[in-house]
Amino acid sequence: MESFRTELEDLNNPVVARDIIDLSKKIQLFRDGKIDDEKFRSLRLARGIYGQRQPGVQMIRIKLPFGRLSTKQIRRIADISDEYASSTLHATTRQDIQIHYVSLDKTPELWAKLEKDEITTREACGNTVRNITASATAGIDPKEPFDVSPYAHEMFRYFLRNPICQEMGRKFKISFSSSEEDTAFSFIHDLGFIPRIVDGKRGFKVMIGGGLGANPTLAELAYDFLEEDQIIPFAEAVLRVFDRYGERNRRMKARFKFLLTDIGLEKVMALVAEERTAIKNKSYPINTAILPDAVIPSEVAAGPAVIADQKRYDRWKDTNVFEQKQPGFFGVNVRVPLGNLSSKLARQFANVVDQYAADDMRVTINQGYLLRFVRPENLTHLYVALDQLGLAEPGFDSVADITACPGTDTCNLGISDSTNISLALEKVIRNEFPDLIYNNDIKIKISGCPNSCGQHGLASIGLHGSTIKDKQGKVMPALVVLLGGGKVKNGEGIISDKIIKIPSKRGPDALRILFTDYETNSLEGEYYHDYFKRLGRNHFYQLLKPLGDITAVLPEEYIDWGQDHNFILHTAVGECAGVIIDLVATLLYDSEDKLGWAKEAYDQGLYADSIYHSYSAFINSAKALLLGRDIKPSTQYQTISDFQKEFVDTGVFPFVGNFKEYVLRINKNEPSEAFAAKFIAESTKFMEDVAAYRAAETGENVAEKVAVAK
């Protein structure tokens, strides 16, 4: 405890310190049985603390906006992984870093140490705005109209701890691509931004409502061009609409893409327009100088380094190195199998980066790293240094560079292995199809379940974990094979087609069959998606159909990759999206908390934030009474409507006027000081009236229950 206090005293940010203290208190209340398990799960997820498949330990997701990471920061994460976790840093497809096997009780202290180097876990999980991703090449991309890095950074800062997006129905994902090639995949994001310059003005093409998961959906065009100062106001309005109208009961239908499908783009944009009055900023100019300049080593190596294998070096340079838009500098991509670096290797890697590249590297969306501002004179020296660490493997982002989520290694949702199968497939490519390291058209992506954390839904060759039962009902691990997805050359996104389910141990044979057919039947220079489209889905089904035949099964096919025993299906509740809070006392406790935050925000002059906290308290208080009657509204809007119908229209609750109109004044008024003060007072009175009504109706001392929860 003394160590924890010392860490907090060293923090310069009182907001962060209070956040960490609050987490520590909530953990203790949870340990004492005074906070409901479901409520606590929601709280910790929003702090980047994710329950693992293994009982009693946590995965910590570290949020790195647009993947930006300094060598100082990666050393900090490596040290923390050694002290609190399993000494492995796992890079994700959303440019985060995850560490595993952390004790829950140690998470506040861990977080405090991370914050010393301005690293956060806040809102890395849960029903929040997740890490904002961007093209790793942003700032050095020869094709970019301008650097999107400061835009992604400002978007991250604006929504961190923002009351409008702390407890949404589901997570919300935002990306920034560096050019029209859309290398950050705007088409699979809730909001995707692609930079453009029109009539000398900076702005963005805006895509809306995309997503992968078990039901992949391509985003729709919201704006062909939106000026740069409008992207944050627009995003804020969209989030307010999602928070109010998004599904909250049916988890599988709670993403923004389903709201867009249900009511249509025109209606969504009309609702967004209705929020313009109430949003915090009608214009938000981006400070394009907000990020510090990269520190580039001034020393140039004297003469080239001795290369032991010139051919291998040439392959590395051809596949992993590119010229930046800044003359005289190169970007160098580093392949990392499965995205995993040991903490020792991470520190050695940081030393190499400091010597030969800028201290500002980027985690890439295919689980590697991009080094920036490497001088041509240093390329051979960098290669040799990386090779000594085993990090100079050629074929970055090629067919040989397979993306995979951790799957059954640590995730509750994992069905069958996604990591060891990846290594087996890479071995097939390396030994049998070595020239494919030059092919960066075909992408192989693997997930441990249908939810697409490994992004199998947009892969040329995608695989996700599943199961198959034989005729005796015995279960074996399986892979669902998907083909034909990806990003075509004009930046258009293509969702892959499901082809067949096969036993997992037949995955390498499936890859051999697919590559052999591609070599045999593709036209000269034909891209994989075009080849797939030309031959048609049935061609590939017939091709792989023999692998799906389980009339004869080998004993080893009942054993998953990386295991030594027959397959056992693990079933657990996943934590990717948080939970629904349905206890009356807990909801009223939340209302008290939110009203406290409303008063704090008001005192600080943050009137829009104050109003939103008061609005959230209205929703929670109304929901508390509805749940007391076993009415479970699926959206905030329905909560307001149901309360009007069940309690106000019937005259059973002491409320004068139209409750729906009363609460929804939130988007009819400017966020002024006067309205904020009025809304706090009204929301406080409503909460007190709800507590009194509940006590009179049931004889429950709700206030006492709330005090216990607190």
Express as a percent the part of the chain with pLDDT over 90. 81
Distance CA 3, CA 212 (A): 42
With bands split at pLDDT 50, 70 and 90, how would you rate the model's confidence at 513? very high
Buried b / exposed e over 64-81, threshold 16 CB at 10 Å, is bbbbbbbbebbbbbbebb
With bands split at pLDDT 50, 70 and 90, how would you rate the model's confidence at 6? low
Is the pLDDT reported for residue 580 higher than 80? no
| Sequence-separated (6 or more) residues with CB below 8 Å from residue 134 | 66, 67, 95, 148, 149, 152, 175, 176, 177, 178, 184
Which 3 state secondary structure label does DSSP give 191?
strand
> Kind of pairing, strands 493-494 and 486-487?
antiparallel
Rounded average pLDDT over 318-338:
97
**Hey, how many other C-beta atoms are within 10 angstroms of the C-beta on 142?**
13
Identify which has the larger pLDDT, 590 or 512: 512
pLDDT at 582: 37
Give Cα 674 distance to the centre of its chain: 38
Distance CA 321, CA 427 (A): 23
| Sequence-separated (6 or more) residues with CB below 8 Å from residue 337 | 393, 422, 423, 426
Is the pLDDT reported for residue 628 higher than 60? yes
Q: Which of 237-241, 304-308, 342-346, 510-514 has the lowest mean pLDDT?
A: 304-308
Distance CA 225, CA 217 (A): 22
147-172 pLDDT, tens digit each: 999 999 999 999 999 999 999 999 99
Residue reference for tokens 């890859």: 511
pLDDT at 709: 45
Report whether 443 contacts 429 (CB < 8 A): no
**Hey, how many other C-beta atoms are within 10 angstroms of the C-beta on 34?**
14
With bands split at pLDDT 50, 70 and 90, how would you rate the model's confidence at 577? very low
**Hey, how many other C-beta atoms are within 10 angstroms of the C-beta on 434?**
13
Distance CA 174, CA 447 (A): 21
| The CATH number, out of the four listed (3.40.50.720, 1.20.120.550, 3.40.190.10, 3.30.413.10), of the domain defined by the range 403-558 | 3.30.413.10
Joined tokens for residue 508: 């390498």
Is the pLDDT reported for residue 414 higher than 60? yes
User: In terms of C-beta density within 10 A (0-12 exposed, 13-18 middle, 19 or more buried), how is residue 691 classed?
Assistant: buried
Distance CA 666, CA 615 (A): 7
The pTM of the full predicted model, rounded to 2 decimals, is 0.93
Which 3 state secondary structure label does DSSP give 214?
coil
Distance CA 373, CA 296 (A): 7
Distance CA 233, CA 465 (A): 40
**Hey, how many other C-beta atoms are within 10 angstroms of the C-beta on 151?**
26
Q: What are the residue ranges of CATH 1.20.120.330 in the chain?
A: 584-709
Distance CA 290, CA 272 (A): 28
pLDDT at 241: 98
* Mean pLDDT score across all residues of the chain: 92
pLDDT at 636: 96
pLDDT at 276: 94
Q: Estimate the share of the chain in helix, then strand, then coil, as percent rounded to the nearest 5.
A: 45, 15, 40
Distance CA 496, CA 483 (A): 5
pLDDT at 703: 52
Residue reference for tokens 């290669």: 383
431-464 pLDDT, tens digit each: 999 988 899 899 999 999 998 889 999 999 999 9
The domain 133-274 having CATH identifier 3.30.413.10: the answer here is yes
Is the pLDDT reported for residue 40 higher than 90? no
Report whether 466 contacts 501 (CB < 8 A): yes
Q: What are the residue ranges of CATH 3.30.70.3340 in the chain?
A: 310-388
With bands split at pLDDT 50, 70 and 90, how would you rate the model's confidence at 408? confident
**Hey, how many other C-beta atoms are within 10 angstroms of the C-beta on 697?**
13
pLDDT at 237: 98
pLDDT at 654: 87
Element holding 266 (H helix, E strand): helix 256-274
Can you point out the beta strands (E) in 22-78?
49-51, 58-62, 68-70
pLDDT at 663: 96
| Eight-class DSSP state of 162 | -
At 600, the amino acid letter reads: E
2-115, CATH topology level: Sulfite Reductase Hemoprotein; domain 2 (3.90.480)
Report whether 265 contacts 223 (CB < 8 A): no
pLDDT at 540: 97
Q: If you write DSSP's letter for every residue of 314-366 in order, what string do you get?
A: HHHHHHHEEE-SSTT-EEEEE--GGGEEEHHHHHHHHHHHHHHS-SEEEE-TT
Residue reference for tokens 């025109």: 266
With bands split at pLDDT 50, 70 and 90, how would you rate the model's confidence at 499? very high
Give Cα 680 distance to the centre of its chain: 33
pLDDT at 572: 59
The domain 584-709 having CATH identifier 3.30.565.10: the answer here is no
71-111 pLDDT, tens digit each: 999 999 999 999 999 999 999 999 999 999 999 999 999 99
Provide the β-strand partners of residue 687: none
| Sequence-separated (6 or more) residues with CB below 8 Å from residue 324 | 140, 142, 330, 331, 372, 373
User: What's the CATH architecture for 310-388?
Assistant: 2-Layer Sandwich (3.30)
With bands split at pLDDT 50, 70 and 90, how would you rate the model's confidence at 694? confident
Q: What are the residue ranges of CATH 3.90.480.20 in the chain?
A: 2-115
Q: What are the start-end ranges of the H helices in 193-253?
A: 231-245
Rounded average pLDDT over 322-332:
97
Q: What are the residue ranges of CATH 3.30.413.10 in the chain?
A: 133-274, 403-558
> Kind of pairing, strands 133-134 and 97-102?
unpaired
